[in-house]
Amino acid sequence: MMMTDSNPRPTKRQRILSVSRSQLEMSTLPPGSPQLPLDTALRPLPPAILLLALPGLLAHPPTHPNFGFSLFLSLRALRQCLALPALAPDLECHAWTSLAELGMRIIESGFCAEQAGCDWAIGIDLEVSQSFFARSTF
């Protein structure tokens, strides 16, 4: 008894050994999308944007073994971002808001200056209240 599949799967793509530039451009971009030259060099991210992105990239759930370390690195990244000279107002507002959210997560998780090894969290309660004040002035 032969059963036919009502939804056949596509065949596996074969590796192409040599591809011309025009074939590559036509195969990778959907029709109507803007064409970017293949020799466009990538530019490095500005430090402020990279530092603001780090807390999202380092996020771990509270049950993860590296949760405390991710909070430490995120706090350090946000503090360094706020210390940058001539920070754009929208990035500064984002940094202060992220610092407030991260500080509340640190306080809620029980990291404080009284615990051994948590000296990185000294003054986080003052920073959180300062960030709420700074955010309200924008």
Q: Quote the pLDDT of residue 127.
A: 76
- On whether residue 127 sits in a domain, the answer given is yes
DSSP assignment letter at 119: G
Q: Which amino acid is at 83?
A: A
Q: Quote the pLDDT of residue 54.
A: 93
- On whether residue 126 sits in a domain, the answer given is yes
- What is the rounded distance in angstroms from the CA atom of residue 79 to the CA atom of residue 96? 9
What residues have CB less than 8 Å from 25, skipping those under 6 apart? 35, 38
DSSP assignment letter at 117: T
- On whether residue 64 sits in a domain, the answer given is yes
- On whether residue 20 sits in a domain, the answer given is no
The residue segments making up the domain with residue 118 are 47-136
Give the pTM: 0.64
Q: Which amino acid is at 27?
A: S
Q: Quote the pLDDT of residue 38.
A: 61
Structure tokens at 103: 């500080």
- On whether residue 18 sits in a domain, the answer given is no
- On whether residue 23 sits in a domain, the answer given is no
- On whether residue 89 sits in a domain, the answer given is yes
**Series of mean pLDDT values for 10-residue runs along the chain (138 residues):** 63 58 55 62 88 92 91 92 92 90 86 68 78 60
Closest CA to 50 of 32, 69, 73: 73
C-alpha to C-alpha distances, 57 to 34, 79, 137, nearest whole angstrom: 29, 16, 28
Q: Count of domains in the chain?
A: 1
- On whether residue 61 sits in a domain, the answer given is yes
